[in-house]
Structure 1
Amino acid sequence: MAERPPVPQAAGGMLRQAQARFPARSAGTRWPTTCSSAEEVIALLDRPPFRAEKKYARWARRTGARAIMAWLAGFPGESWQERWEASPAAACPHRWAQEGHTWVSSAAQVKWPIVQTGLLVLAGADVIRLPLTWLFGHRTTHLRSVVEARDPEGYARLQESVDPKRWASVGGGRARLALARIMLAKGGGLADITAGDAIQYSIELRKSEIDNSGGTLFYSWLRNLGYLPSDAPATLRFLDRVTGQLTCEQLVDRHGVACAPIRRLLIDYLEERRPKLDYSTLDNLARALTRNFWSDLEHHHSGISSLDLPPGVARAWKERFRTRIQRRKRPDGTLEETVVERADRAPLLMAVRAFYLDIARWAAEEPARWGPWVAPCPIKEAETFDRKRVKRVKARMDQRTRERLPALETFAKAATDHYRHHAARLQALLAVPPGATFTLGDAVYTRTKNGATANARNPHGVLLRFDQAEHRAFWAWATVEFLRHTGARIEEMLETSHHALIQYRLPTTGEILPLLQIAPSKTDQERVLLVSPELADVLATIIRRVRDPRTGAIPLLAAYDYEERTWNPLAPLLFQWDRGGENCRMSGEFIRDALAEVLAFIGLTDSTGQPLDFTPHDFRRLFITDAIRSGLPPHIAQIIAGHTNINTTMGYHAIYPTETIEAHRAFIARRRATRPSDEYRTPTEEEWDAFLAHFEKRKVSIGTCARAFSSPCVHEHACVRCSLLRPDPAQRSRLEEIRDNLVARIAEAEREGWLGEVEGLRVSLAGAEDKLAQMDRRTPGGTAIDLGMPRMVPAQPIREEGTASLRESLDDQQ
């Protein structure tokens, strides 16, 4: 097997791009304050804003600063920063904490707390700058207060723009600590912090072993103050996990292609196709051609370098490609691997076939570029057809829809009850002071002493987050109501903004209708839906919840598009939440987990007793099925759903057996309405006797006559010649006698010269032989059994139905 080249890392591509575009400031080693003399530094500490109000604090700052500068004077350098970096204290904060007192005591005999105070005031006055990694390991509770004195106006403006509860919260404290660390490491005030400084801090914080939760709130504060450029990243929360749009070269190299000419060919092919494709399609195409096709060939056939695949190589690849390994985690935590049929086999085969055919077509226009790579396509057109699998998927989805549509109202009611349950629990908790107990049901809970959080402990001492439970229950309810009333995709729901609510005035009556504008998603086609009263109530509740209580406006968010790998413009998204003080859009994983909690709350099961789960896309199928069943024309449902093809809409529509029966009955009623009314009269006794006599006269000597009722015998009872005769296998001997007699008569007629009779006898002989052949085909290697003719007994309902009804019944049987 060929050894694959190293695969470059794609995750975090946007973080690396932002880091390259916005470099962090260099801390430097010389600036005016660090180049000052010891006396000038002490004089600076005696002036505002570094002058302490209390006399002891002023003495401690001066004494500690003098001691540290006296110690640093023994190291080489022309500035205090250079001397600090030359000292052993700059190597590790843990060494400073363990040995710093001994080092400084060699130059000045002062207590260790005084030395710590001196270090903080020197860093706060920008005499020395401590690296971020050093600050992460240095624990102190006075860091924020010392640095805030450097830029009091900036901090006052920041505090005015932040909610007081958020400012005093744990997340707010971490954000202020982050700003303090950046200023201590880079110098300057809040307005001097750059996007590169913030990005570097986020990267270093993620590398450290300390708790980095809420480590990006400070960045949103800087953006709100206008200190960052407009083209800076909208947030730092997800930059380390998203890739952004990769180049065609990166798309190929992420899966590793050993053959350099084939690698160059794949890159050129993707570059040629890129202008006509969206990024998601281009990404899937690159994955199909590299990982699933060529990289697999290189892995199993070392040294392969041509698209002209031998039949055995192509056949082996298609056989491997037919299945895949499915990994599932068992309850005990171990992984279970199962070989299953690949569901996307046909689309991937089609992508490889298009790759070969495109090269052959482009070779006619650019023979020098594409001609050397023209090769026979190893995939036939018939191999790309996947009708059976599509039908199986359609049947499975229809069954899923039929199981969930009757339970939709129950599930929606359960989501409402689930939200009300958790909202009542949260109100009960907030009604008592911190540390007090309250009762819910039969259990007694104790609210935590931290009044800023809505947490409580149950009788077993387990901490429960009532606010987070209510938060998930609300958005589960909002999701169910939004999807069931709109039929939108989950990505369309998550991208719905406040601007999507528009009004339309009817030109005839002047009535104002509320409309919901669905942003382009899968098909890049915008559409507008009529807002029902139920949906309007849901949207109003969502708006009240996400509105900023201080300004009354919905916060603007820049959501990341996971399909196009780009950041959307700032918009007042409705499905957003306060995550650690920073507003962010909800994810699909959060929505699915919230729906799972509703299912656990109600305990719905299917006919087999298994949990009846609901996914966000189930509501789209239920919406389309219910709309068409209620009489909405399919082409209108297509427009509402945003499908480009009506066949896709009908694929979402689950057909019920009762619908088929009712449609057939309606067809029969319409057909009856178009026939003459005299056909529906009651038959006379003579007509009914003639009808019964027809079936009694169908039995002949060598079989059964199958001609229709009231039709004459076209062969004048020469049954051997008639194609309507159904020969009876039990009469084979009689038919053989007829055949032998016909042969003898033909010989006699030819001998006597009766040429006119020879013609007719030969027609009869051909008919007899055909009837014998029919017997052979009907009973291959077996014995024929005569079941007899069914006995026709006249029934009263048939007589009253009439001749026309009888004809319809016979037509339907045929």
Structure 2
Amino acid sequence: MTARTEQAGAGPATRNAQLLGEALKSVTERFPPRPVAELWPATQRGIDDIVNRLESSPLREAVRHTQWCRVTGARQILGWLQQFPGASWQQRWNASPAAASGVEWSRMAAEWIATTSSGVTAPIVGSGLVGLVLADVLRPSLSWQMARRARHMQERFPLVRDPEGFARLQTLAGPARWASLTGRRAVNDLTKIMVAKGGKLADITVGDALEYRTALQEHHTQSAGHTLFYAWLRRLGTLPDDAPTTLRNLGRATGQVGIEQLVDRYDLTCRPVRDLLVDYLTERRPGLDYATLDNLSRFLALHFWADLEAHHPGIHSLHLPAQVAVQWKQRAQTKTVRRRRSDGTYDEVVSPRLDGSTLLIAVRALYLDLARWAGEEPARWGPWVAPCPIREADLNVKKHGQRVKARMDQRTRQRLPALPTVVRAAKELLDKAQARLQAVQIAPVGGRFEVLGETFTRAKRPGSTWVYDDCGRRRDLAQRERRAFWGWAMVEFLQHTGTRIEEMLEASHHSLIQYRLPTTGEVVPLLQIAPSKTDQERVLLVSPELADVLSTIITRVRDPRTGAVPQVAAYDYNERVWTPPMPLLFQYDRSGEISAMNGDFLRKCLNDVLDATGLTDADGCPLDFDPHDFRRIFITDAIRTGLPPHIAQVIAGHSDINTTMGYTAIYPAEAIEAHRAFIARRRALRPSQEYRTPTSEEWDAFLGHFERRKLSVGICARAFGTSCIHEHACIRCSMLRPDPDQRGRLVEIRDNLLARITEAEREGWLGEIDGLEVSLAGAQGKLAQMDAEQAQRSRAVDLGTPTFRDISGRDCTSPPPPG
């Protein structure tokens, strides 16, 4: 939704700044592939022994003509290979021109073998080679196999080489996935590895899989979907415990690298300063997480010293001349970006750097730390002590904070009124996508069908969900439905929880717990939020709306065979590590492999929803939503509707209440000042100990609200801390949630109201009739609501959530009711 920008002017520094492929390089060094063999028993047999083996089970073909082609072609190939040197057939194969390329073999094989045999035809030679490979006499290389397709060998190889292993693999994969296109592709991948390296499925190593992926990428530009075979190997349990959890995106992941690599990615010219930065970051490393260390190395190596070397060649000291320091501080506050025009050209635009203050703080900390450490280790740090070019006055953090607050407030003011439209558009987009998918699934293969006023033609491949519209454009309706579903799930989850996107992605089936109130026995569902930014674990009350969303997600991701949520490993893009397998809620089937979602995919789903809304900002540009905007809106709306700020602080997981108050952008300036004045007056009258993180007793009082809302015919849903504004006329109140178990009592109330209305009509009490009819309408409405909820409960999904006692060893008790 926003303009695509690229940073310019960084030169070689940006080309290797991402350290892409370092994780793959590290794994490749740890897991080398098996060496290519040239001598093994099967390849050292004589021609007659090989032919006898081809005549025996399981290599013997059921069709007589096929068996004749196998034996005849094998004899012709072996006779031709005899003219090449070697102690085995594999060595002779490697010495022949056939081993160079599968393409050349397909084109020249018959011509080559005709020099030593008569009656040679290409089909016979091809069939003979299949027989020799099945008998493990020859092992063509991976690159050779990439250039040639052998359909008959792919069908026969699993049954001949490792029938037990492939049968077990088929059971683990399931019949539907095994027969799918991605399943057949995975079997083909495993077959090629076993053809090139020999052995069975259990003999395939991590290095073999990595080597195959490399060969595949060298011969095919599109290698997506060729990671399912590795996931199947993991499920077989033949790989070591420390093996990579997945091969997907391994080549684009950096992993955690050493400090020297973090600095060397920017190609600093001055070696002494480079060594100083490495030494400085090593000293700071124990107190930093990896994400902070990565950002600090980028600030110091790229934006500070590499920038100085680019503009002042030959610089070699931290003692910066005054003019150089002034010029660098000016550049540190801006950045140059490239904006793409509609005609494909780029413009270079200078814009303010949002993290300019953070950059100045990092550089100032470098100078001050060196000066302080020099007193303890003068020989090590003393030569680098220099006057700090950044004065305290340069760090106008207050003004920077005001600008950030103003920018956040403006975003929230624009997006809060648009939230209902976004929620409604997400649901409509999902409904339409599901209707199209259902229509294509029942449409005949290759036939035309109409749905939602649109006409499509289904692709001719059985089981495919690809369609063509009237303009000939091709669409995958299953992919459209998947993106629409997760766009809806993301919007609903974020608007009801106010969590960060990384917290949402880490939510798992284990995050859903149940807590039973000790006095009333009422079960309160809770959502456990794993520690993320502030390393503080917290729980959220699950509203009925959020419960519907969670049940829909769990129903979608459950394994239909076992009913359990599959466990997947996710890549933490902040810490650059893979997390242990967990039953994550935000997971999906990607080319047959169950994968955890990432923020990029969900942002694309969110953009689809925003495109459907057609919303624009004040400048007429399409309105963009960031996942964090939902968090600001959630906190703003909660405080605006009366939730105490210190309770909102706990729910949001903020360590400082000022951060929570900074998220509230709707209040005008007068309301904010009035609230601050009220806080100041209250602090003057009350002890300062009250202004702190809520205690366990205060939190129990918050939970106790749910005990006091219990009524004779149901539960009152009024907000925490609010009194009844309907004078306890519960039958008439829209906040009453009737209990289906109290239907009989509600029927008695309705019948009593009917009798009282009849009596009032008989006695002429017209004034009382109006009030009784309002109560009667409320009672009838509650009965209808109760029937609707009872029908919905019959279709409810068991989430399989553990109880609170299974999760926590501490019982939270509320004070007993008075009296």
TM-score by length of 1: 0.80
Which residue of 95, 114, 126 maps to 2:136?
126
Note the alpha carbon deviations across 1:600-643, whole angstroms, 9 max, x for none: 22222345543332221110000000011011111211111111
1:55 and 2:64 correspond = yes
- Given that 1:2 and 1:300 are in contact with CA atoms closer than 8 Å, whether structure 2 keeps it comes out as no
Note the alpha carbon deviations across 1:705-753, whole angstroms, 9 max, x for none: xxxxxxxxxxxxxxxxxxxxxxxxxxxxxxxxxxxxxxxxxxxxxxxxx
1:173 and 2:184 correspond = yes
Q: Deviation at 1:322?
A: 2.5
Partner residue in 1 for 2:799: none
Evaluate the alpha carbon distance shift between residue 70 and residue 210 of structure 1 in structure 2; reply closer, same or farther with a 3 A threshold: farther
1:23 and 2:32 correspond = yes
Which residue of 476, 493, 503 maps to 1:492?
503
- Given that 2:102 and 2:145 are in contact with CA atoms closer than 8 Å, whether structure 1 keeps it comes out as yes
Q: What aligned pairs does 1:333-732 form with structure 2 within 5 A after superposition?
A: 333-657=344-668, 660=671, 663=674
Counterpart amino acid of 1:258?
T
- Given that 2:457 and 2:468 are in contact with CA atoms closer than 8 Å, whether structure 1 keeps it comes out as yes
Q: How large is the RMSD of aligned CA atoms in angstroms?
A: 2.3
Q: Deviation at 1:401?
A: 0.9
- Given that 2:21 and 2:252 are in contact with CA atoms closer than 8 Å, whether structure 1 keeps it comes out as yes
Which residue of 151, 159, 167 maps to 1:141?
151
Partner residue in 2 for 1:100: 109
Partner residue in 2 for 1:219: 230
- Shifted more, 464-473 versus 558-567: the winner is 464-473
1:260 and 2:264 correspond = no
CA distance, structure 2, for counterparts of residue 260 and residue 661 of structure 1: 53
Q: Deviation at 1:161?
A: 1.3
Query: The residue matched to 1:513 in structure 2 has which SS?
Result: strand
- Given that 2:367 and 2:388 are in contact with CA atoms closer than 8 Å, whether structure 1 keeps it comes out as yes
Note the alpha carbon deviations across 1:405-424, whole angstroms, 9 max, x for none: 12212221221111111111
Partner residue in 2 for 1:305: 316
Evaluate the alpha carbon distance shift between residue 636 and residue 367 of structure 1 in structure 2; reply closer, same or farther with a 3 A threshold: same
Q: Deviation at 1:4?
A: 8.2
Evaluate the alpha carbon distance shift between residue 606 and residue 325 of structure 1 in structure 2; reply closer, same or farther with a 3 A threshold: closer
Which residue of 107, 125, 146 maps to 1:115?
125
Counterpart amino acid of 2:74?
A
- Given that 2:357 and 2:400 are in contact with CA atoms closer than 8 Å, whether structure 1 keeps it comes out as no
- Shifted more, 289-298 versus 440-449: the winner is 440-449
Evaluate the alpha carbon distance shift between residue 556 and residue 7 of structure 1 in structure 2; reply closer, same or farther with a 3 A threshold: closer
Partner residue in 1 for 2:20: 11
CA distance, structure 1, for counterparts of residue 115 and residue 502 of structure 2: 65
Partner residue in 1 for 2:300: 289
- Given that 1:49 and 1:150 are in contact with CA atoms closer than 8 Å, whether structure 2 keeps it comes out as no
Q: Runs of 5+ in structure 2 lacking a partner?
A: 1-8, 686-819
1:316 and 2:330 correspond = no
Evaluate the alpha carbon distance shift between residue 564 and residue 182 of structure 1 in structure 2; reply closer, same or farther with a 3 A threshold: same
Mark the structure with the bigger radius of gyration.
1
Q: Runs of 5+ in structure 1 lacking a partner?
A: 675-814
Which residue of 150, 162, 173 maps to 1:151?
162
Note the alpha carbon deviations across 1:555-613, whole angstroms, 9 max, x for none: 11110000000000000110011011001111212111111211222222345543332
Query: The residue matched to 1:160 in structure 2 has which SS?
Result: helix
Partner residue in 1 for 2:711: none
Q: RCO greater where, 1 or 2, for CA within 8 Å and sep 6 or more?
A: 2
Q: Deviation at 1:433?
A: 2.6
User: Number of aligned pairs?
Assistant: 671
Query: The residue matched to 2:559 in structure 1 has which SS?
Result: coil
CA distance, structure 1, for counterparts of residue 494 and residue 318 of structure 2: 47
- Shifted more, 209-218 versus 54-63: the winner is 209-218
- Shifted more, 130-139 versus 378-387: the winner is 378-387
- Given that 2:332 and 2:359 are in contact with CA atoms closer than 8 Å, whether structure 1 keeps it comes out as no
1:280 and 2:285 correspond = no
Query: The residue matched to 1:450 in structure 2 has which SS?
Result: coil
Note the alpha carbon deviations across 1:673-711, whole angstroms, 9 max, x for none: x9xxxxxxxxxxxxxxxxxxxxxxxxxxxxxxxxxxxxx
CA distance, structure 1, for counterparts of residue 225 and residue 441 of structure 2: 24
CA distance, structure 2, for counterparts of residue 435 and residue 478 of structure 1: 33
Evaluate the alpha carbon distance shift between residue 666 and residue 385 of structure 1 in structure 2; reply closer, same or farther with a 3 A threshold: closer
Q: Deviation at 1:7?
A: 6.0
Counterpart amino acid of 1:33?
A
Partner residue in 2 for 1:752: none
1:235 and 2:274 correspond = no
- Given that 1:120 and 1:146 are in contact with CA atoms closer than 8 Å, whether structure 2 keeps it comes out as no
- Given that 2:34 and 2:207 are in contact with CA atoms closer than 8 Å, whether structure 1 keeps it comes out as yes
CA distance, structure 1, for counterparts of residue 595 and residue 670 of structure 2: 45
Q: What aligned pairs does 1:708-787 form with structure 2 within 5 A after superposition?
A: none
- Given that 2:256 and 2:577 are in contact with CA atoms closer than 8 Å, whether structure 1 keeps it comes out as yes
Evaluate the alpha carbon distance shift between residue 208 and residue 481 of structure 1 in structure 2; reply closer, same or farther with a 3 A threshold: same
- Given that 1:2 and 1:303 are in contact with CA atoms closer than 8 Å, whether structure 2 keeps it comes out as no
- Shifted more, 43-52 versus 348-357: the winner is 43-52
CA distance, structure 1, for counterparts of residue 493 and residue 675 of structure 2: 36
CA distance, structure 1, for counterparts of residue 441 and residue 17 of structure 2: 51
Note the alpha carbon deviations across 1:200-232, whole angstroms, 9 max, x for none: 111111121364221111000111111211110
CA distance, structure 2, for counterparts of residue 409 and residue 24 of structure 1: 55
- Shifted more, 239-248 versus 516-525: the winner is 516-525
Counterpart amino acid of 2:42?
T
Partner residue in 2 for 1:724: none
